[in-house]
Chains A and B, each alone.
Chain A
Amino acid sequence: MDLFGSFALILAFICALYAIGGGIGAILTRKPLLIKSARHAGMAVCVLIFLATGSLIYLFFTDNFSVAYVVAHSNRDLSTLYKVSALWAGQEGSLLFWSFLLSIYVFSVLVTYRGKHPELMPYVGVILAGVQLFFLTLNNFVASPFRVLGTMGAGGVWQVFTRADGNGLTPLLQYPEMVIHPPNLYLGYTGFTIPFAFALAALLGRYPGEKWIHLTRKWTMIAWCFQTMGILLGAHWAYAVLGWGGYWAWDPVENASLMPWLTGTAFLHSVMMQEKRGMMKVWNVWLVFCTFMLCILGTLLTRSGIVSSVHAFAQSSIGAWFVGFLAVILLVCLISFLKNRDYLRSENQLDSMISRESSFLFNNLILLVACIAILSGTLFPVFSEWVEGTKISVGAPFFNRVNIPVGLLLLFLTGVGPLLAWRRTSLESLRRNFAWPLAAGLLAGAIAFPLGCRDFFSLMCLMLSVFVVLTIGQEFYRGARVIRARTNCDFLSALVQLTLRNTRRYGGYVVHFGIVMIFVGIAGAAFNQDKQAEMTIGSTMDIGRYHLVLQSMDSKPERNYTSERMIFEVMRDSRPMMMLYPERRFFQSNEQSGTMVAIYSTLREDLYVVYAGRSPDTNVPVIHAYLNPLVKWIWFGGLVVVMGTLLALVPNRQPVLVLKTADQPVPVKGAAQAVPAPISSYERKK
């Protein structure tokens, strides 16, 4: 099966070469047969990558310990679920997994648009095949997951040998979220290849209008949704597994996932300017280019060892390949832009500083500033060492200090932007839309301050959150009230009708609501408490309203590890609440240990108990307890963001009526001169 996988990858590489060559030929000659042939080659690449990935999974399932990658990341006792996740546990497998996920997107695009957009699709096919070719080069020649163990025997004959068992999977990855977090994140990273390919193709082919934006909107949203889920699942994994009481450490690898998310978010907002007003074409094209390049940069940071991170794969020479690939992408994008920039000329003007358009500009600016702050902070230690020769750290305090004010500005714009009118907003409209939410925000601050919310940024976050939630609620309420008045239905039905009429708009509001929840959850961190103590049976610990009693401890062998568990009775306000079981697991196969945190989570706070191991001096269990307010809001907020995005992807139930522009004067009987089309004439848009 290892030979089958290797063969499939080599064939995929050859097919990708053909897809590029054939595609370029198709662009130059416009021969339909060549277009079809290049497309089929592109699809064959995907199928072959599917087969290669399937064969690697098969090698894991059958415990084939003659394959180096299987030996390094699996063992016989590993459960089936984790044998699947072992696929992306190491450098070679994760690169194949990247190719696999990219192939799902590429195959879907090639099938969805087969026979459509003949001026655009050959370019798209060539670009996608180009990206696939890069990863297939790595899969075949740099980091093959199908390398077998063996030695050169007598007479120069390669002798394969099989190990009795593997080294096992890293304990940190033996957690259910690790089965879904990396695929989500990778689906985000790889998904941004599609809007990138369409944007570059439209630029190269000078494809007219905003077509590429319409075509890629759904793909961008899908990628963004996966990236969001990936980031949040990663944060939850860090929270529940790493046992340091937090969910975001501003680690370079975490930052690498956040940067394309920020530019992707900026793009999702600014495309509306191009769709509605034909503006910001250059900006949009470069936002997509940057998002894709940041995805590749993120992969480079994770795999090259340029910056040190607890998450990163081992240092390897693979970084040079990614640097080269990044340079090629940048060069191609620059040349295409310089050659065709006249095609990106804006069609409209801006009427006022206070308008939806300008709010999008400011929103994009803030998102970009956040991205620059994170990028510079992540890479600065490298620059500093180059220039000054000394190593410095850029840790969480720096990122928090820089990004918290930026985040609050963004939160403010989340409330303001959607309520501003396109073109121009009158003062009266401003007053009508913002007076109540603003007053309520201030009132919330006035109530929270005497109640003990004294941290400046948390107080601001609370006030802005109330403001944004009310602006969103107001939008739903006003819209639903109009529908209720016109259709005589109940308010809830009106609300559903309203949402389904314009899913993109109201789905967007739901996403904003989820973002507010995430901000509220993050603001809770200002009030975290923690305690650490060596505890024996019967000893107690008090934290906040909670009283912890260590009742007993046990140890039991499981199939793949031995668990040592602390059994706590938890009381709140002197009433017994529940039992908590923080544990440590010792994995015999690789002699590593892992933490299983016990969390009692409510909307108000999380009681987070870690069994940190035994003290080296006294051999007594060390217990670290944290009281983290509002953390649950982050996970719920993430869920709301995903639901909002899915809602925005649903086609409108009822057509949106848009005033139709009269291209030709309509002759009216009896009229002295032609008059434009009557105002009741609408164009139906789905």
Chain B
Amino acid sequence: MSEKSKLTAAVCALALVAAGLVFATRGAQAQQTDRAKQIGKRLMCMCGCKQILTACNHVGCQVSGAMLKELDQRVARGDADDLILQSFVQEYGTEVIAEPPTKGFDGIAWFLPSIALVGGLAIVIVVILRWARRPVPASTGPKVPDELLARARAQADRETED
């Protein structure tokens, strides 16, 4: 390989590395922003607006601005999600997390709908079974002849089907 070719190859390699670095950094930034958004959706803004951190739209809201800045910094530092959330809890209290904890007394909030669904389902099935087993009340009217019943069924079929 000639000197010129070596130089060209070196320049190309450097250009590739540089391009790779630029794209890699861009990718990392995009990921950070997305990650920060995702974590921001799990936090409440503490300005009193009762909105999700990323949805607080008060102009010049000092609280959400500072919180978002802190979140961005922690994401840029590469902190784990749980660690970031924990640090916000330490700073603002448990109220900062948008969802109730899954453990302890607060875990009931998560279980209640499931209990209602499972319990309700059980009740509905029991009710259906009980109704199905209930004896048919004896007919007080005269028995409808089979032929008449067949005619009624045929007529109903004709009128409800094509």
Binding site for B on A (CB under 8 A): 242-246, 249, 251, 279, 308-310, 346, 349-353, 358, 361-362, 365, 368-369, 372-373, 376-377, 380, 384, 387-388, 390-398, 401-402, 406, 478, 481-482, 485, 584, 593, 595, 610, 612-616, 622, 624, 659, 661-663, 665, 674-676, 679
What CA separation (Å) do A332 and B109 show in the bound complex? 30
Contact yes or no, B98 A242, CB < 8 A: no
Q: A391-B93, A392-B106, A663-B141 are in contact. Are A246 and B42 (CB under 8 A)?
A: no
Is B134 located at the chain interface by the 8 A CB criterion?
Answer: yes
Residue in contact with A388 in the complex, picked from B105, B134, B142, CB distance below 8 Å: B105
Q: A346-B131, A478-B162 are in contact. Are A393 and B97 (CB under 8 A)?
A: yes
Interface-lining segment among B4-12, B17-25, B54-62: B54-62
What CA separation (Å) do A663 and B131 show in the bound complex? 26
Chain A residue at minimal CB-CB distance from B54: A530
What CA separation (Å) do A536 and B14 show in the bound complex? 37
Contact yes or no, A373 B94, CB < 8 A: no
Contact yes or no, B106 A406, CB < 8 A: no
Contact yes or no, B109 A350, CB < 8 A: no
Residue in contact with B94 in the complex, picked from A245, A391, A395, A674, CB distance below 8 Å: A391
Known: A246-B55, A391-B94. 8 other contacts (CB 8 A): A249-B52, A351-B132, A369-B113, A392-B94, A393-B95, A482-B161, A675-B142, A679-B152
Contact yes or no, A675 B162, CB < 8 A: no
CB-CB nearest 9 A-B residue pairs: A613-B59, A395-B98, A350-B131, A373-B113, A372-B116, A616-B60, A376-B112, A391-B95, A349-B134
Contact yes or no, A393 B96, CB < 8 A: yes
Contact yes or no, B42 A397, CB < 8 A: yes
CB distance from A627 to the nearest CB of B (A): 14
Please name all residues of chain B whose beta carbon is closer than 8 Å to the beta carbon of A406 when the two chains form the complex.
113, 117
Please name all residues of chain A whose beta carbon is closer than 8 Å to the beta carbon of B97 when the two chains form the complex.
392-393
Contact yes or no, B145 A350, CB < 8 A: no
What CA separation (Å) do A324 and B106 show in the bound complex? 28
Contact yes or no, A394 B109, CB < 8 A: yes
Contact yes or no, B100 A394, CB < 8 A: yes
Chain B residue at minimal CB-CB distance from A485: B162
Contact yes or no, A353 B60, CB < 8 A: no
What CA separation (Å) do A343 and B50 show in the bound complex? 47
What CA separation (Å) do A387 and B51 show in the bound complex? 24
Is B28 located at the chain interface by the 8 A CB criterion?
Answer: no
Contact yes or no, B60 A398, CB < 8 A: no
Interface centre among B41, B51, B148 (most CB of A within 10 A): B51
Residue in contact with A352 in the complex, picked from B113, B132, B155, CB distance below 8 Å: B132
Residue in contact with B105 in the complex, picked from A242, A245, A387, CB distance below 8 Å: A387
Please name all residues of chain B whose beta carbon is closer than 8 Å to the beta carbon of A308 when the two chains form the complex.
48, 50
What CA separation (Å) do A665 and B151 show in the bound complex? 18
CB distance from B22 to the nearest CB of A (A): 20
What CA separation (Å) do A353 and B131 show in the bound complex? 10
CB distance from B108 to the nearest CB of A (A): 8
Chain A residue at minimal CB-CB distance from B60: A616
Q: A349-B131, A390-B94, A392-B100 are in contact. Are A679 and B162 (CB under 8 A)?
A: no
Chain A residue at minimal CB-CB distance from B133: A349
Please name all residues of chain B whose beta carbon is closer than 8 Å to the beta carbon of A482 when the two chains form the complex.
159-162
CB distance from A617 to the nearest CB of B (A): 9
User: Which residues of chain B from 110 to 131 have any CB-CB distance to chain A below 8 Å in the complex?
Assistant: 110, 112-113, 116-117, 120-121, 124, 127-128, 131
CB distance from B26 to the nearest CB of A (A): 15
What CA separation (Å) do A630 and B138 show in the bound complex? 56
Chain B residue at minimal CB-CB distance from A377: B109
Chain B residue at minimal CB-CB distance from A477: B162
What CA separation (Å) do A679 and B100 show in the bound complex? 62
What CA separation (Å) do A194 and B85 show in the bound complex? 49
Is B16 located at the chain interface by the 8 A CB criterion?
Answer: no
Please name all residues of chain B whose beta carbon is closer than 8 Å to the beta carbon of A365 when the two chains form the complex.
117, 120-121, 124
Please name all residues of chain B whose beta carbon is closer than 8 Å to the beta carbon of A353 when the two chains form the complex.
128, 132
Is B44 located at the chain interface by the 8 A CB criterion?
Answer: yes
Is B101 located at the chain interface by the 8 A CB criterion?
Answer: yes
Residue in contact with A361 in the complex, picked from B41, B56, B101, B127, CB distance below 8 Å: B127
Is B144 located at the chain interface by the 8 A CB criterion?
Answer: yes
Contact yes or no, A251 B50, CB < 8 A: yes
Please name all residues of chain B whose beta carbon is closer than 8 Å to the beta carbon of A310 when the two chains form the complex.
49-51
CB distance from A430 to the nearest CB of B (A): 15
Contact yes or no, B50 A309, CB < 8 A: yes
Contact yes or no, A373 B105, CB < 8 A: no
Interface pairs (18), CB distance under 8 Å: A249-B55, A251-B50, A279-B131, A308-B48, A310-B50, A349-B134, A361-B127, A391-B95, A393-B95, A395-B44, A397-B99, A398-B109, A406-B117, A593-B59, A595-B57, A675-B142, A676-B144, A676-B145
CB distance from B118 to the nearest CB of A (A): 10
What CA separation (Å) do A308 and B45 show in the bound complex? 14
Contact yes or no, A349 B94, CB < 8 A: no
Please name all residues of chain B whose beta carbon is closer than 8 Å to the beta carbon of A352 when the two chains form the complex.
132
Contact yes or no, B142 A676, CB < 8 A: yes
Contact yes or no, B98 A397, CB < 8 A: yes
Q: A392-B97, A398-B99 are in contact. Are A679 and B105 (CB under 8 A)?
A: no
CB distance from B127 to the nearest CB of A (A): 7
Contact yes or no, A369 B117, CB < 8 A: yes
CB distance from B109 to the nearest CB of A (A): 4
What CA separation (Å) do A392 and B145 show in the bound complex? 68
CB distance from A664 to the nearest CB of B (A): 9
CB distance from B57 to the nearest CB of A (A): 5
CB distance from B152 to the nearest CB of A (A): 5
Is B1 located at the chain interface by the 8 A CB criterion?
Answer: no
